[in-house]
């Protein structure tokens, strides 16, 4: 499953970032690492970005990016 498919409000665990090192660097710089728990807070309409809670910070991620983030539904504390 990728982040793009996650229902609003659900917490999921990030498995891997599959967009090349450039994207991985950018995401880890915003505090998003594999193994972290994130939550989709909102989505913008018409193919707009997702608003994701990453350790209490809210990060807007374009759909193209959310598509490259593999996640799983598992217990996130």
Partner 1 sequence: MRVALIGQPNCGKSTLFNQVAGYKAETGNFTGTTVTFTESSVRVGGETIEVVDLPGTYTLAGTNPAEREASRYLLSEDVDLIINILDASHIAQGLELTLELLAMKVPVIVAMNMMDEASRMGLKIDGPALQEKLGVPVLPIVASRGRGVKGLFLKALSLSKVKVLNTSNYLLMTEDDRMARHKVAGGLEREFVTRGERRINLRDRIDDLLLHPFWGYVGLVLILYTFFQVVYGVGVLVETPLMDYLDKITQELILCLGEGKFLTEITVGALQGVVAGIGIVLPYLVPFLLGLGLLEDMGYMSRVAFLMDALMHRIGLHGKAIVPFILGYGCNVPAVMSTRTLDDPKERFVAAALATLVPCAAILSVVFGLVAFYLGPFMALVLYLFNIFVIALVGRVLTLMIPEDTPGLILEIPPYRIPTLRTVTQKAWFRIKEFLVEAWPLLIGGSAILALANFFNAADFFNSLARPFTWTLGLPPATGVPLIFGIFRKELSLVMLGQALGSMSFDTVLTSVQMITFTVFVMFYVPCLATLSALRRELGTKDMFVITGLTVVIAMVTALLSRGLAIMFF
> Contact residues for partner 1 (CB under 8 A)?
19, 22-23, 25-31, 33, 42-49, 51, 55-65, 68
What is the smallest separation between the CB atom of 11 and partner 1, expressed in angstroms?
A: 16
Of 28 and 74, the one with the shorter C-beta distance to partner 1 is: 28
Closest CA to 16 of 4, 37, 29, 33: 33
Q: Which helix (H) or strand (E) holds 37?
A: strand 37-43
Q: What is the DSSP letter of 28?
A: H
List 70's β-bridge partners, or say none: 2, 16
What is the smallest separation between the CB atom of 77 and partner 1, expressed in angstroms?
A: 10
Of 13 and 63, the one with the shorter C-beta distance to partner 1 is: 63
């Amino acid at each position: 499953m990728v982040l793009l498919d996650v229902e609003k409000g659900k917490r999921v665990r990030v498995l891997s970032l599959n967009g090349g090192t450039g994207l991985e660097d950018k995401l880890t710089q915003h505090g998003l690492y594999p193994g972290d728990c994130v939550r989709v807070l909102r989505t913008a309409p018409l193919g707009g970005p997702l608003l994701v809670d990453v350790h209490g910070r809210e990060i807007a991620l374009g759909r193209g990016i959310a598509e490259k983030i593999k996640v799983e539904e598992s217990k996130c504390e």
